[in-house]
Amino acid sequence: MFRAWHNSLALKVRVSPMGALQVADVTAWDAVRVGMGFVRAEGLFGRTVFVPASSVRGVMRSFSERLLLGLGLRACDPLAPNACGMGRDAAPRRIYLESCFVCRTFGSGQLAGRVVVGDFWPWNSEAVEATQRDECATANRTERRGGIAIDRRTRAGALGHESEVEVVTRGAFYGDVILTNYQLWQPALIGLALREIEEGYLTIGGGSGRGFGRVLCRVVGATLRQSLDVRAAAGSLDGASRKIIGAGGFEADELPVPDGVTWEREPLADVARLSGKEWTRLFEALLDGPWREFVTSREKDRSNHRDTENIEIGGEEKGGGKEEGDAGVVAGAEAGVVADAGAVAVAETAAAEPVPAQDAAPVPGDH
Ligand SMILES: [Zn+2]
């Protein structure tokens, strides 16, 4: 749906053990494949434990599925035969509109995701090198934890059934979570997933039944970037809704940034750098406004999505347009403005027209 870049949000996230985090005894590649927690790899300062991106991304994705399903919103099971984009060869716009909200955010076999998560390494790249080395050494002072099976007859430890795992108990791990061309409900969703990890409901790595895997998770900084041709009120954060044909056209996908946050004009974009505290204020505002609006407006057209195999996109848009009257009108008018600005190929009559094949080639995403 997007050939043009519109906006991005980069969250710098710090994850630290609350108790013990199990180190998986597998290679990094295995860990990526099976989505396990801590593994080892060669880092800047030698061999080190780290958290592969896929572990964190997987936890965020599965949380998002459960959250949206709990709200009665569409979220597919990516492993099911009727998952979004499976066995279909539809036009790109159709693929987007038929995709559930999780796939629109994290991607599917036929749709590129909007979220990129980096690996989490045990040093803060903004610190001086000596500090980074110390931080890395701290995290790598791992411990061994024993476990033993209980003999069912004697209720004593069963000799020969002892096990031992390696755990990380110290240090902090830093990684980035980056969202591109997002609508404003999407950073709210990502923030909710990170908050759930922080509160200990989501665990990273193996052994959660033994109390392993709970982490403290903090957004320590955020960088907002948006294209110079945004249509939002001056200084506001601008979501990408108006650039997505038929995406629902939320009436105003924009939000004033918290007091004290300033935009700097750089050659290619307006940029705002937020502290962790400022991000928290922005996140709360996102929940109060765009997220609430997303949940309630989507509730209205839930019935249209009940049978995902038989969606009639044209009908959905016409129906949605009538129901959400103003939103449709605003989105249409804005689409015209955007097209004039030459930013993106958007036609006011797009709803009734087939999408040209070159509008967006399907990009393989992942789950
Ligand atoms: Zn899906």
Q: How far does the centroid of ligand 1 lie from the alpha carbon of residue 58, in Å?
A: 14
For residue 69, report the distance from its CA to the centre of ligand 1, in Å.
11
Which residues lie across from 120 on neighbouring strands? Answer: 51
Centre of ligand 1 to C-alpha 79, Å, is 10
Does the structure show a pLDDT above 90 at 205? Answer: no
Determine the pLDDT at residue 251.
Answer: 54
| Distance in angstroms (rounded) separating the CA atoms of residues 45 and 16 | 19
Give the integer Cα–Cα distance in Å for 364 and 99. Answer: 14
In contact, 120 and 57? CB cutoff 8 Å = no
pLDDT averaged over every residue in the chain: 74
Residue 339 vs residue 228, higher pLDDT: 228
Between the CA of 13 and the centroid of ligand 1 the distance, in Å, is 26
Burial class from Cβ neighbours inside 10 Å (0-12, 13-18, 19+) for residue 229 reads: middle
Name the band, by pLDDT with cuts 50, 70 and 90, for residue 67: very high
Tell me the β-bridge partners of 274.
Answer: 222
In the reported structure, the alpha carbon of residue 147 is separated from the centroid of ligand 1 by a whole-number distance in angstroms of 39
How far is ligand 1, taken at its centre, from the CA of residue 170, in Å?
A: 37
Tens of pLDDT, residues 207-263:
777 777 788 889 999 999 998 887 777 778 888 776 665 555 555 688 988 888 999
What pLDDT band is residue 301 in, cutting at 50, 70 and 90?
low
Rounded-to-integer distance, Cα 44 and Cα 52, Å: 15
What is the CA(186)–ligand 1 centre distance, in A? Answer: 15
pLDDT value for 347: 32
Per-residue DSSP letter, 245: T
CA of residue 77 to ligand 1 center, whole Å: 7
pLDDT higher than threshold 50 for residue 60: yes
DSSP class of 108: B
Instruction: Look at residue 306 and give its three-state secondary structure.
Output: coil
Domain ranges of the chain: 7-136+166-359
Mean pLDDT of 14-21: 86
**CA 114 to ligand 1 center in whole angstroms:** 13
- So what's the pLDDT on residue 80? 83
How much distance in Å is there from the Cα of 97 to the middle of ligand 1? 11
- Our CA angle for 169, 171, 173, nearest 5°, is 110
Ligand 1 midpoint to CA 265 (Å): 37
Q: Which of 43-52, 119-128, 160-169 has the weakest average pLDDT? A: 160-169
Distance between Cα 159 and ligand 1 center (Å): 48
pLDDT (0 to 100) of residue 90: 67
Compute the distance from residue 99 Cα to the ligand 1 centre, in Å. 5
Answer yes or no: are the C-beta atoms of 362 and 95 closer than 8 Å: yes
Distance (Å) from CA 249 to ligand 1 centroid: 20
**d(Cα 103, Cα 65) in Å, to the nearest integer?**
9
Taking the centre of ligand 1 as the mean of its atom positions, its distance from the CA of residue 364, in whole angstroms, is: 14
Query: Which carries the bigger pLDDT value, residue 328 or residue 144?
Result: 144
- Please tell me the distance between residue 84's alpha carbon and the centre of ligand 1 in angstroms: 4
Of the spans 79-83, 93-97, 248-252, which averages the highest pLDDT? 79-83
**CA of residue 101 to ligand 1 center, whole Å:** 7
For residue 72, how far is its CA from the centre of ligand 1 (angstroms)?
14
CA distance 273 to 224: 6
